[in-house]
Structure 1
Amino acid sequence: MTSLPDRPNTALLVIDVQNGVMAGAYNRDGVIANINELVGKARVEDVPVVWVQHSDEHLTRGSESWQYVPELARRDSEPLVHKSYGDSFEATELDALLAERGVGRLVVTGAQTDACIRSTLHGAFVRGYDVTLVGDAHTTEDLTAYGAPPPEQVIAHTNLYWQWQSAPGRRAGTVETAKVTFAADDAS
C-alpha cells in the first residue's frame, strides 16, 4: 500500500550491526541470530538485502569497530550504504538504490533502537515507504547512566509505538522474526 508509485517490492534493511555498535548491545547474540534468519529467508525469496554501515568519530571507516559483526556475511551482490547520520536516507544513495529495485516496503532490523533505527523508521515513512520493524531483531546499548530507560524498555516502547503509526497511503507495523513475510500483500 506504499504511496510510492510503481514500487511493489520489499527489501530487508540491516542497519549498523557493527562491532563497535554491538559490543554492549542488549541481547546481542539473539538479535544477530534473528537477523541472520531474516537474511537467509530474504535470499531464498530473492528479496533485496540492503546493508547500512555508519561511520563517525567513534566508528572510524576501516577500523575494527566499524566492521560488520563476523556472524553476518554480506554478499558482494548485496548493496552496502555508507552513512554518517542516524537516518539511513540522509545524504546517502539509499532512496535511489531502492527506487531502482522497485522497493516501496522496508523490513527494518539492526541497531541502535533509540538512534539509527528510529531515525530510519521515520525517515522511510515520511518518504512514502511502508515500514515494518522486526521487534526481536533490533537492539540498543544500556544508556541508563544518561537517564534513558533500560534497553529492554526502549526496545519494547519502540515496538509498541511503531505498530500504531499511520499516514495516508502508508502502513507501519511491528512483527517478530518468525512472522516476517516479504510479500507486500501481507504487510503489517
Structure 2
Amino acid sequence: MTTLVNRPNTALLVVDVQNGVVDEAHERDAVVAKIGGLVGRARREGVPVVWVQHSDDELVRDSEEWRIVGELDREDSEPLVEKSYGDSFEDTDLEEVLAERGVGRLVVVGAETDACIRSTLHGAMVRGYDATLVGDAHTTVDKSEWGAPTPEQVVAHTNLYWRYQAAPGRKGGTVKADDVDFRG
C-alpha cells in the first residue's frame, strides 16, 4: 500500500540497539531476544535487515556504549546506517539503502520508544513508507524523574496510537513479534 513506486519489498529496521541505549532499558533482555528472533526470521525469509546506529556526544563512535549489543550480530552484507538525529532518515543514507532494495514497507524494532522509534516511524510515513511497529520489540529507559510516564506506559501508549496510524496510501500498525508477516 506504500505510495512509493516500484517498492514492493519489506525490510526489518533495527534501530539503536546499542549498549549505551538499552543497557538500563525496560525489559531489556526480553526485547533484545525478540529482536534477535526477528533478525533470524528475516534472514531465513530473505528479507533485508537494516541496522541503524546512533552517535552523538554521549554515544561516541567506536566506544563500548556505541556498539550494537553483544546478543545481536550484524552480518557484513547487512547495511549499517549511522545517524545523529532521532529520525533514522534525517541526514543519513537510509532512503538510498531502502530504494536500492526496493523497500516500501518497514517493520521497526529497537530503542528508544519515546525518541528514535517514534521519530523514525513518523519519518517513514511522511516519506511514503508503510511502517509497522513490533509492539513487544521496542523499549526505553525510565525518564519518569523528569516527568515522563513510566517505561511500561510509554511502550503501551506508543503501541496503542501507532496501531491506528494511517495516511493517504500509507498505513502504520502494531503487531507482536510472533505475528510479524514480512510478506505484507
For normalisation by structure 1, the TM-score amounts to 0.97
Q: Which amino acid aligns with 1:158?
A: T
Distance in 2 (alpha carbons) for counterparts of 1:11 and 1:33: 19
- Deviation readout 1:117-174 (Å, 9 max, x if unpaired): 0000000000000000000000000000000000000000000000111110001100
Query: Residue 46 of structure 2 corresponds to which residue in structure 1?
Result: 46
Q: Which runs of no fewer than 5 residues in structure 1 stay unpaired? A: none
Query: Residue 170 of structure 1 corresponds to which residue in structure 2?
Result: 170
Distance in 1 (alpha carbons) for counterparts of 2:53 and 2:110: 10
RMSD of equivalent CA atoms: 0.4
Distance in 1 (alpha carbons) for counterparts of 2:23 and 2:137: 16
Distance in 2 (alpha carbons) for counterparts of 1:114 and 1:107: 17
Distance in 1 (alpha carbons) for counterparts of 2:84 and 2:145: 25
Displaced runs of 4+ in structure 1, greater than 6 A?
A: none
Distance in 2 (alpha carbons) for counterparts of 1:58 and 1:44: 35
Distance in 2 (alpha carbons) for counterparts of 1:70 and 1:166: 35
Q: Which amino acid aligns with 1:152?
A: E
Kindly report which structure 2 residues correspond to 1:59-138, keeping only aligned pairs within 5 A, or say none: 59-138=59-138
Distance in 1 (alpha carbons) for counterparts of 2:31 and 2:169: 30
Q: Displacement of 1:69 after TM fit?
A: 0.4
Q: Which amino acid aligns with 1:183?
A: R
Distance in 2 (alpha carbons) for counterparts of 1:126 and 1:74: 28
Query: Residue 11 of structure 1 corresponds to which residue in structure 2?
Result: 11
For these two proteins, the number of residue pairs brought into alignment is 184
Query: Residue 142 of structure 1 corresponds to which residue in structure 2?
Result: 142
Distance in 1 (alpha carbons) for counterparts of 2:146 and 2:57: 20
Q: Displacement of 1:23 after TM fit?
A: 1.3
Query: Residue 157 of structure 1 corresponds to which residue in structure 2?
Result: 157
